[in-house]
Structure 1
Amino acid sequence: MDSSHTRLDYGKMGYGCKHYKRRCMIRAPCCNEIFHCRHCHNESTSDRHELRRQDVQRVICLICDTEQPVAQVCTNCGVNMGEYFCGICKFYDDDIEKKQYHCDNCGICRVGGRENFFHCKKCDACYSMELRDKHSCVENSMRHHCPICYEYLFDSLKETTVLKCGHTMHSKCFQEMMKHEKYTCPICSRSVIDMSKMWRELDEEIESTIMPEDYRNRKVWILCNDCNDTTEVYFHIIGQKCSHCQSYNTRAISRPTIPQ
């Protein structure tokens, strides 16, 4: 390796914070204070104001302490202040194994490799190629807070999961939800996994559970959370089955009554 490459790589992966490995700090124009990154700024401010990544104009090299305008290479000591650098986001990161890339449609940098993701214009978010033409579109699906932890999803550092209904949440929050046997979307109440086995078990339980005479022939109107169909079915204390999609993920929208 020649001396120019040695200089560029000096200190690589040896500096940074819990969010990013980088060889510079940023000066926040909103408060004129210095932080390792915008997340460090946002987590430390008592008045909860947030720093827009595009607003950063000056950085401080951690190798030679030189403050300078935003650029990838330090004007004084000549090191790469970030192996990955985005001049639009003013973003630095030495850990290029993340496969960072800038998405012009999102307007921010993403991780995972450009070749592995596509931008859905209706959802206005980058999704895995595995979901191309295989997901339910929800307008601006990522521009809201995780329904479990309430962290804003669009620029979250945590991995996200796209549910069958098209809504999104953090993958870790989704896993926790499954551990607690919560199988419906917290936003729209649609089933998030294949529930057919559980529906068959409910069929058997209902068949073996005889309702009292007074309720045996009563009917109730239900709304199905899975297919949005509204039907009139026989009332049962265990649950009401949608006659359209066979789901028990339903809710009663009327009182049980005896048909006239």
Structure 2
Amino acid sequence: MEESSVTQRQEESAKIQYGCEHYRRRCKIRAPCCNQIFPCRHCHNEAMSSLSNPKDRHDLVRHEVQHVICSLCDTEQQVARVCSNCGVTMGEYFCEFCKFYDDDTTKKQFHCDECGICRVGGHENFFHCQKCGSCYSVLLRDNHLCVENSMKNHCPICYEYLFDSVKGTAILKCGHTMHMDCSAEMARQNQYRCPICSKSVFDMSRTWEILDAEIEATAMPEEYRYEVKILCNDCNNTSEVFFHIFGHKCCHCNSYNTRRIVPQ
């Protein structure tokens, strides 16, 4: 009983001492791709992506990890939750498939068989969308525009791969995806178009009303009173409207998210 209490105290102490900026854990991993030891796959990827020779840069495939090193006794061993030498639990959360360890269980980690990786946030709060190919919040069930394998792309703002990113992801009205932080930064920069398809991703009705008023109050000189052909990015319809320096309004959906079609 006394030995068990000592081991428990060691584990509690080790939760604070060991790990990295990404995860608290009591083991390191040996990367099979380069045979080097790192605290986690993110540490490996950051180190490898900064190598001077582009040919040497590479990412670690999490499922290929076979060996871990206990942080308490330095014993290298096959992937397992408990150290084969000192008996310490190397991670309160452990996924044998992903070779993933983490002591911070407040993240509510869970493994999605269909994604093939571990997610955070609690299994009960997510569902797997078969068409989009990823887990989404249950709030989006039957409430989002599906784009096939939309998460298996890079964020159009920061270009980080979205599928296994640790950052939160937003689904835009058009169905394309990006990081929540990147979407918020777009809004701060007054960028309202999807970087991929150019459709409006925010409610622009108030902005369009302001443009209506400004255009009505600002008459164009006689030499600029001619019609132009436009294509609407929001509804994909074409219109012929009078030219105005402030913008051109779609005759079909009333959006100003349009572009002028220049005759060839």
Q: Normalized against structure 2, the TM-score is what?
A: 0.91
Note the C-alpha offset of 1:185: 1.0
Note the C-alpha offset of 1:7: 3.1
Whether contact under 8 Å (1:23, 1:62) holds in the other structure is yes
Give the structure 2 partner of residue 243 of structure 1.
251
1:26 aligns with 2:26: no
- TM-aligned CA distance change 1:121 to 1:5, over 3 Å: farther
* Pick aligned residue for 2:125 from 116, 119, 125: 116
Give 1:208's aligned amino acid: A
Specify the SS of the correspondent of 1:247: coil
Q: 1:132-151 counterparts in 2 under 5 A?
A: 132-151=141-160
1:224 aligns with 2:227: no
Task: Report the Cα distance in structure 1 between the residues aligned to 2:210 and 2:178, rounded to whole angstroms.
Answer: 29
Specify the SS of the correspondent of 1:133: coil
Give the structure 2 partner of residue 258 of structure 1.
none
Question: C-alpha root-mean-square deviation of aligned residues, in Å?
Answer: 1.7
The alignment of Structure 1 onto Structure 2 pairs a total of residues equal to 254
Give the structure 1 partner of residue 109 of structure 2.
100
Give 2:196's aligned amino acid: I
Give 1:28's aligned amino acid: A
Whether contact under 8 Å (1:23, 1:82) holds in the other structure is yes
Task: Report the Cα distance in structure 2 between the residues aligned to 1:202 and 1:18, rounded to whole angstroms.
Answer: 47
Whether contact under 8 Å (1:70, 1:90) holds in the other structure is yes
Deviations 1:70-92 (A, max 9, x none): 00111111111011111111010
1:164 aligns with 2:173: yes
Of residues 106-115 and 44-53 in structure 1, the stretch that sits farther from structure 2 once superposed is: 44-53
Q: Normalized against structure 1, the TM-score is what?
A: 0.92
Q: 1:124-135 counterparts in 2 under 5 A?
A: 124-135=133-144
Deviations 1:123-174 (A, max 9, x none): 1111111111111111111111111111111111111211111111111111
Note the C-alpha offset of 1:13: 4.0
Task: Report the Cα distance in structure 1 between the residues aligned to 2:5 and 2:242, rounded to whole angstroms.
Answer: 76
Q: 1:1-260 counterparts in 2 under 5 A?
A: 4=4, 7=7, 9-10=11-12, 11-45=14-48, 46=51, 47-216=56-225, 218-254=226-262
Specify the SS of the correspondent of 1:172: helix
